[in-house]
Chains A and B, each alone.
Chain A
Amino acid sequence: MSRQASPTMLLVLFCVLIFVAMVVVPMLGPLLVELAREFDTSVAVTGQLVAATAIPWGITAPLVGPVLDTYWKRPMLLIGCMVMTLGILGSAIAWNYGSSLVFRLLTGISGGMVLPNYFAIIADVFLEEGRGMAIGWTFQRDRIQNCLGSSHGALPAGSG
């Protein structure tokens, strides 16, 4: 049974994936005050959770690249998504600042696994004439998610 979707379908799915993956960083913004109150710390300290996501993201991405070149991308992508799901869910059940920090580190590591994978798969699936269009669509969502990410964090939490 062939499970491969059409390139257009894959592009739509990957755009959604990149959107949901990138929102995990800006969604923290509106929640910082609530998190500081919950963990009995300052907003400045809670703000470091953003760095705790971004730093492992930046470290993991170049390390994942050679693995993607050797092994196929699909397992790495799915592992990255699974770790990201666990990291975000863990942020919801964090009982103190330390645990929240650990779960944000986990989320950052998974982000570094998902994003390079996207570009590697796009390069595999789309030939040269369609590749620019595919990457362009992703970056359009890249800007939108910065706007929607904050709203997403603010509205359900009632702090918007």
Chain B
Amino acid sequence: MVPFLLEVGDWRLPFCYWSYFVGAVAAVIGLVAPEPATSGPNVILHLPLKSSRFKRVILVRAGCQFTTESELHWSV
């Protein structure tokens, strides 16, 4: 729909050019917004300090990394 083809007084006109306005602002933000810090989900799991060694080994095998003693940082 082209706004220039609509007469002043047509109820479609505000919707029409406002949609173009939103699209234009979104395009600019798409160009300058910060890039993603990671490429995928970034999940932090909390394990109790007394969790079993077996459980930790299984999680490490699954690709998890321990960031602190009680926190597991898993980047997929």
By a beta-carbon cutoff of 8 Å, the part of chain A in contact with chain B is 3-5, 9-10, 13-14, 16-17, 20-21, 23-24, 27, 31, 34-35, 38, 70-72, 74-75, 77-78, 81-82, 84-86, 88-89, 91-93, 121, 124-125, 152-153, 156-159
B34 touches A20 (CB 8 A): no
- The dominant DSSP class at the B interface is helix
How far apart sit A17 and B21, CA to CA, in the bound complex (Å)?
Answer: 9
Residue of B nearest to A23 (CB): B18
Q: Contacts of A3 on B, CB cut-off 8 Å?
A: 31-33, 35
Give the number of chain B interface residues (Cβ < 8 Å): 34
The residue from B10, B15, B20, B30 contacting A91, defined by CB atoms under 8 A apart:
B15
Chain A nearest CB from B51 CB (Å) reads 23
By a beta-carbon cutoff of 8 Å, the part of chain B in contact with chain A is 1, 8-23, 25-26, 28-38, 40-43
